[in-house]
Amino acid sequence: MTMKISSRASPHPPFGDAWPAGLDVRALLDGGWRPTPFREFVLKIVSRCDLACDHCYVYELRDQSWRGRPRAMSREVLGRAAARIADHVRAHDLDAVTLVLHGGEPLLAGTGLLGDAVRATRDAVRRAAGPGPDGRDRVGAVVQTNAVRLGTRELALFDELDVRVGVSLDGTAAAHDRHRRHADGRGSHAEVEAALGRLSSGPYRHLFAGLLCTVDPRNDPVETYEALLSHGPPAIDLLLPHANWSEPPPGRGDRGETPYGDWLAAVFDRWYAAPRRETGVRLFEEILQLLLGGASTTEAIGLSPVGVVVIETDGAIEQSDSLKSAFPGAPETGRHVFTDSFDEVLLSPFVAARQIGLRALCPVCSSCPVKKVCGGGHYAHRYRDGNGFLNPSVYCPDLLRLIMHIRARVASDLSRMAARREARDGDPLPPAAG
């Protein structure tokens, strides 16, 4: 891939001298590094929400830029974003990309704008790059929703356009309504349950992408997992609350406790010990894959280059919105769909820092024996006022606890398998690599 370095100075968010503001992208390119194209395009189709969740990183933490943005993406911005995505797909001959309809709460956009977003992007990519190698559209689509407004009209549109649906649910009614409430304090669990009934069974089941659950150690881990499991999700995402060294996560003290690691380890044991595969839990599957020498596919763990980019309602091109938890302006790239290509965004030091693997780790992480599995943790969780993102994750003890727990369980099982084989065949398994 040939990259052009813009003659314009790359705009930077207000980092000052905090890392990675001084990362020399030209030196990286001269040394042979090449950026990884974006494959996931998050459209912030609306900038408002119909819930007032107290753990929301968009509305409740440091970055409040949503207040100055249009409530919904205009057709003009949408058309330009679609064209930029198409240019990127053509330039890099990407066989498949994902369009994520996001917010705020994307269903506030209405079915008209949601449908236009998917159709415009697919049409633009088809004109620019043709169909994918299998003859189908190169653009897969997914919507991430709180599901309060997920009715049959929305589901019919998603069925027509083959848009998969991810739903945010934090477990039991008590666990969910602890955080995910309306502005007047009413819980939203009953509405989400009703919506999941429409989605997870009957003619729309094939659209169900999975459930997203934000971890709260105050909720019973197994009870939470089984409440999620009751909806038959094809996958579950367990997310650590977005926090950092300057805004620590709730429930974490200074004495080396690992409440989040303990909670996740308990869920892992329940999931792993099931007599059959009940669902996928992405965090656990990623860690298992990494322990066995594979690569990660999520920014939460591992060292794989991050290939996600966000287009805000006003057309601003930004990094992952999770960075809003760090400081005002943290996701900014200074680029816009009306004036800049995604290739220019790839050459920002702030984007490059999330694609250079081991070179982006701080000294503490670089000397850690599980660095290739942990990967320093989620990038947003490394931030500290004063030195930016050159730190371990604020969840470092929890991640180490979980990774070592999973490694011990897998090692124990492999030892038992080897012993059974040796007893049966008299032929021990060869030692594992490394």
Q: What is the pLDDT of residues 108-138, one digit of tens each?
A: 999 999 999 999 999 999 999 999 988 899 9
From the DSSP assignment, how many helices (H) and strands (E) are in the chain? 14, 10
Is residue 291 within 8 Å of 213, Cβ to Cβ? no
> Would the pLDDT of 431 be above 80?
no
Q: What is the mean pLDDT of residues 158-173?
A: 98
Name the β-bridge partners of 43: 101, 311
Two structure tokens written together for 422: 């040796």
Query: β-strand 208-214 against 308-311: which pairing, if any?
Result: unpaired
pLDDT at 16: 59
**Average pLDDT rounded to a whole number, residues 272-284:** 97
Mean pLDDT confidence for 217-245: 97
pLDDT of residue 425: 76
292, with CB counted inside 10 A (0-12, 13-18, 19+), is exposed
* Secondary structure class of 72 (helix, strand, coil): strand
pLDDT for position 312 = 97
- Which DSSP state fits 304? P
List domains and CATH numbers for the chain.
36-412 (3.20.20.70)
| Residue 5, pLDDT above cutoff 60 | no
Amino acid 285: pLDDT: 98
Residue-level pLDDT at 181 = 97
pLDDT for 414 equals 85
Burial of 239 (0-12, 13-18, 19+ CB in 10 A): middle
What is the reported pLDDT for 96? 97
Token reading at 306: 């991050």
Average pLDDT over residues 21-27: 93
User: Who has greater pLDDT, 409 or 6?
Assistant: 409
Q: Is residue 13 over pLDDT 60?
A: no
Mean pLDDT of the chain, nearest integer: 92
Distance CA 168, CA 187 (A): 13
Examine the pLDDT at 204 and tell me if it is beyond 90: yes
**In degrees rounded to 5, what are phi and psi of residue 280?**
-90, 140
Cα–Cα dist 210/213, whole Å: 10
CB atoms within 10 A of CB 162: 14
pLDDT at residue 6 above 50? no
Span 332-359, average pLDDT: 96
Q: What is the mean pLDDT of residues 164-173?
A: 98
Provide the pLDDT for residue 428: 60
Cβ-based neighbour number of residue 316 at 10 Å? 21
Note the pLDDT of residue 254.
67
Length of the chain: 434
Q: Which residue, among 221, 228, 303, 235, has the nearest Cα to 265 in the 3D structure?
A: 221
For the segment 401-415, the average pLDDT, to the nearest whole number, is 94
**What is the C-alpha separation between 231 and 195, in angstroms, rounded?**
11
- Distance, CA of 307 to CA of 35 (rounded, Å): 9
Could you give the percent of the chain with pLDDT greater than 70? 93
What is the spatial distance between Cα 328 and Cα 340, in angstroms, rounded to a whole number?
A: 22
Residue 311 predicted with pLDDT over 60: yes
Give rounded-to-5 percent helix, strand, coil for the chain.
Answer: 40, 15, 45
